[in-house]
C-alpha cells in the first residue's frame, strides 16, 4: 500500500467517526482518545521521513532527518548558522568560507529559478530554505543516528516536504554549484505541492522533476558526460520512451530529462514549464495534460523532441566508429577508465570488474591483478612504476594512500593538506603536484614525498585542476575556466600563463615524452583527443572517430590509450593517430 493511499483511508475513517451521533457510544471519552490518535497518525504521515518521490526526498533510510544528532564523530562538531533572506545555512566549524560560497550560489539559484515559479507562492510564500552543509561523508554519517553505509550517501538530498536541503561538500566548486542549484530547484518547484503528494491527485513524471533541476543548472556545472551519453543514444536510436522516463535513474535518463525540458522551454517558453508541472498534479501524466499546456499529445511531443535532437547532434556523425578499426584493449572487466603506463610491459587502470565502484588493476604482459578494494577517484604512478599514490574516500573523506605495486601493501600518505582531489608524480620522482579543496574551490600545491607543502602553484577563486608534469619535471600544465570554457594553463616554476583560448573545452592534459601536450577537446558531449605545442599554442585534433574519447595517454612509439564511451559503457582502447597496423 502506498503512503498516500494509507493517508486517504485513514482520513475517510476519521471523517466517518466525526459524523456519528453522540448517543452512539457511551464511551465518548474513548472516542476522543481515538480522535487524538488519528490526528497524531495523520501528523506522522505528513511528516514521515519514509514518504518519498523518486530520489529527491530522502536517502534510503531517512537518516538526514536527524541532522545534528551526533553519533560518534571523529572530532567535536558544533553547528553554526549563516542566515539570509531566502536561506539558512547550517555548517560545522571550519566551513565558514565554504558557507559564504554556498550563500552566493544559493542566491544565484534562487534568482534563476524562483521568478519562473513565483505564481505558485501568491498565497503562501516560500519560507527560508534550511541548508545543512557537511564537510564530508564521514561527518554526514556521524551526524546521524544510523548505520548508513558511507558509499550509499548521496551528494545532496532535497527534503521538499519540509523545505530543507542536506549537502556534502563537493570535490570542486563546479560540482558544489551544480549540486546546490539542482537541489534548490527541487525545493522551489515541488514545495508548493507538498500536500498533493499525500493526496489522490496526479503526480509529475520524473523526467520533468529532474529535467527542471538539470535545466536550471548552468551548463558548465552539469556533469559533461551526461550529454555525451545522450549524443551516443541519438546516434544509435536508443532514446528512452516517455513511459520509461517516468522514472529517472542513470546518466542517460538525466540527460534525456534535461534535453526534453530544454526543448519545451525553447519551443513554448519558460512559463510553460510551470504550467505543465501544475497540470501534472491535477490531471497526471496523460495526453490531456500535454494538450492543455502544449497543444499536442505526448507522442507528438516525443517525436518533435527526437527530431530536434537529430538536428542538434551532427558533429562526428559521419566519422567512422572506433570499432571499425580497433577492439577494446581488454575484453570484459566491466567499466574501464584511466589507463596509465607503470613501467615496461605494465599498465594500471581503473575497473568496476569486481565491484560497482572503481578499483585499481594492474595489467602486466597480458595478466591482470586487482590492486585495491576501495573506491579510487584518482591516482598517479611513480616514475619507475614501483609505487602508486591514490585517493579514496573509503573512510568517509578523501585521503591519500601509498601502494607498493609488487607486494600490494597499502599505507596512508601523510598529506599536510586536507581533501585531496587529484595527484601527479613528478617525472624526476622527488615531489608531487596535488589538487586540494580547502576553501570551496580546487587549488594546486607542490608537495614533498613526506607530505609537506613546498609551494602553491595556483590559488585563485576558480577551480584549478588536472595538473600534469612536463618531462623535465620543472613545468606543469593544468586546467581552469576562462570565458565559460575550460582552458589549458602552464606554470613554468614562477608564473602562470594561458595556453589555449578557443571557444571549446580543453580538459585532461597529459604532457607527453615528445614535448607536446595531449588533451581532451570538444563540447556538447563530443570529445576528441587533441595535441598542442606548449610554446606556440598550435592545436591539432588526432582522433578521427565518431565516439567520445576521454583520458587519453600517449605511449612511447606513438600509440595512445583512451577511455572510449560507446553504447552505455566505458572501455579502454589502444589506437594510433596514423591508423592501425593491425586490428586490436
Domain definitions of the chain by residue range: 3-46, 49-199, 200-314
Sort strands 526-532 and 539-541 into parallel, antiparallel or unpaired. antiparallel
| Dist. CA 376–CA 466, nearest whole Å | 16
| Dist. CA 529–CA 531, nearest whole Å | 7
List the CATH code of the domain at 49-199: 3.30.2010.30
Q: Is the dihedral of CA 51, 54, 60, 66 positive or negative?
A: negative
pLDDT in tens, the chain (584 residues): 323 333 233 333 323 332 333 333 343 344 444 444 444 433 433 343 323 222 333 333 343 344 555 555 556 667 789 999 999 998 888 899 999 999 999 999 999 999 999 999 988 889 999 998 988 888 877 765 344 454 555 688 888 888 888 899 999 999 999 999 999 999 999 999 988 876 667 899 999 999 999 999 999 898 889 999 999 999 999 999 999 999 998 889 999 999 999 999 999 999 999 999 999 999 999 999 999 999 999 999 999 999 999 999 999 999 999 999 999 999 999 999 999 999 989 999 999 999 888 999 999 989 999 999 989 999 999 999 999 999 999 888 999 999 999 999 999 999 999 999 999 999 999 999 999 999 999 999 999 999 999 999 999 999 999 999 999 999 999 999 999 999 999 999 999 999 999 999 999 999 999 999 999 999 999 999 999 999 989 999 999 999 999 999 999 989 999 999 999 999 999 999 987 754 33
| Dist. CA 330–CA 326, nearest whole Å | 12
Using a 10 angstrom Cβ sphere, with 0-12 exposed, 13-18 middle and 19 or more buried, the burial of residue 166 is buried
pLDDT of residue 250: 87
Rounded to two decimals, the pTM is 0.86
- The angle at the Cα of 515, spanning 510 to 517, to the nearest 5 degrees, equals 30
pLDDT of residue 92: 84
The residue among 517, 529, 513, 514 whose CA lies nearest residue 565 is: 529
pLDDT of residue 75: 62
Amino acid at each position: 500500500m502506498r503512503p498516500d493511499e494509507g493517508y486517504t483511508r485513514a482520513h475517510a475513517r476519521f471523517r466517518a467517526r466525526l459524523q456519528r451521533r453522540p448517543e452512539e457510544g457511551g464511551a465518548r471519552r474513548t472516542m476522543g482518545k481515538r480522535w487524538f490518535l488519528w490526528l497524531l497518525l495523520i501528523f506522522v504521515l505528513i511528516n514521515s521521513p519514509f514518504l518519498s518521490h523518486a530520489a529527491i526526498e530522502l536517502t534510503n533510510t531517512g537518516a538526514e532527518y536527524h541532522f545534528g544528532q551526533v553519533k560518534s564523530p571523529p572530532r567535536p562538531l558544533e553547528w553554526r548558522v549563516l542566515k539570509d533572506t531566502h536561506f539558512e545555512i547550517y555548517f560545522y566549524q571550519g566551513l565558514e568560507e565554504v558557507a559564504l560560497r554556498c550563500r552566493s550560489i544559493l542566491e544565484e539559484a534562487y534568482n534563476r529559478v524562483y521568478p519562473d515559479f513565483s505564481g505558485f507562492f501568491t498565497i503562501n510564500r516560500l519560507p527560508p530554505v534550511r541548508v545543512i552543509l557537511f564537510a564530508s561523508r564521514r561527518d554526514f554519517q556521524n551526524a546521524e543516528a544510523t548505520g548508513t553505509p558511507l558509499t550509499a550517501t548521496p551528494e545532496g538530498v532535497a527534503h521538499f516536504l519540509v523545505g530543507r536541503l542536506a549537502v556534502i561538500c563537493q570535490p570542486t566548486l563546479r560540482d558544489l554549484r551544480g549540486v546546490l542549484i539542482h537541489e534548490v530547484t527541487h525545493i522551489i518547484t515541488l514545495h508548493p505541492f507538498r500536500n498533493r503528494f499525500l493526496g489522490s491527485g496526479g503526480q509529475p513524471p520524473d523526467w520533468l522533476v529532474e529535467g527542471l533541476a538539470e535545466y536550471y543548472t548552468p551548463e558548465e556545472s552539469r556533469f559533461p558526460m551526461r550529454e555525451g551519453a545522450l549524443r551516443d543514444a541519438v546516434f544509435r536510436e536508443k532514446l528512452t520512451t516517455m513511459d520509461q522516463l517516468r522514472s529517472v535513474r542513470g546518466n542517460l535518463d538525466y540527460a534525456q530529462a534535461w534535453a526534453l525540458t530544454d526543448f519545451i522551454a525553447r519551443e513554448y517558453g519558460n512559463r510553460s514549464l510551470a504550467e505543465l508541472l501544475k497540470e501534472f498534479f491535477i490531471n497526471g501524466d496523460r495526453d490531456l495534460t500535454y494538450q492543455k499546456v502544449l497543444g499536442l499529445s505526448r507522442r507528438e511531443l516525443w517525436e518533435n523532441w527526437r527530431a530536434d535532437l537529430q538536428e542538434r547532434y551532427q558533429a562526428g556523425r559521419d566519422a567512422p566508429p572506433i570499432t571499425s578499426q580497433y577492439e577494446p584493449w581488454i575484453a570484459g572487466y566491466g567499466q574501464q577508465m584511466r589507463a596509465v603506463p607503470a613501467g615496461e610491459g605494465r599498465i594500471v587502470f581503473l575497473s568496476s570488474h569486481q565491484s560497482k565502484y572503481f578499483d585499481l588493476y594492474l595489467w602486466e604482459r597480458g595478466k591482470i591483478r586487482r590492486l585495491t578494494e576501495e573506491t579510487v577517484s584518482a591516482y598517479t604512478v611513480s616514475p619507475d612504476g614501483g609505487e602508486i599514490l591514490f585517493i579514496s574516500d573509503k573512510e568517509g573523506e578523501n585521503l591519500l594512500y601509498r601502494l607498493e605495486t609488487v607486494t600490494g601493501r597499502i599505507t596512508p600518505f601523510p598529506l599536510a593538506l586536507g581533501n585531496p582531489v587529484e595527484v601527479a608524480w613528478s617525472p624526476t620522482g622527488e615531489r608531487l603536484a596535488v589538487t586540494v579543496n580547502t576553501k570551496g574551490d580546487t587549488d594546486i600545491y607542490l608537495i614533498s614525498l613526506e607530505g609537506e607543502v613546498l609551494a602553491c602553484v595556483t590559488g585563485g577563486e576558480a577551480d584549478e585542476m588536472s595538473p600534469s608534469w612536463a618531462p623535465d619535471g620543472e613545468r606543469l600544465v593544468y586546467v581552469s575556466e576562462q570565458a565559460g570554457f575550460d582552458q589549458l594553463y602552464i606554470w613554468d616554476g614562477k608564473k602562470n600563463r594561458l595556453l589555449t583560448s578557443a571557444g571549446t573545452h580543453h580538459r585532461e592534459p597529459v604532457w607527453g615524452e615528445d614535448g607536446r601536450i595531449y588533451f581532451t577537446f570538444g563540447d556538447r558531449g563530443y570529445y576528441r583527443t587533441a595535441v598542442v605545442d606548449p610554446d606556440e599554442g598550435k592545436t591539432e585534433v588526432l582522433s578521427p572517430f565518431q565516439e567520445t574519447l576521454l583520458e587519453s595517454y600517449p605511449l612511447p612509439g606513438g600509440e595512445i590509450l583512451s577511455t572510449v564511451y560507446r553504447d552505455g559503457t566505458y572501455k579502454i582502447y589502444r589506437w594510433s593517430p596514423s591508423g592501425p597496423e593491425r586490428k586490436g
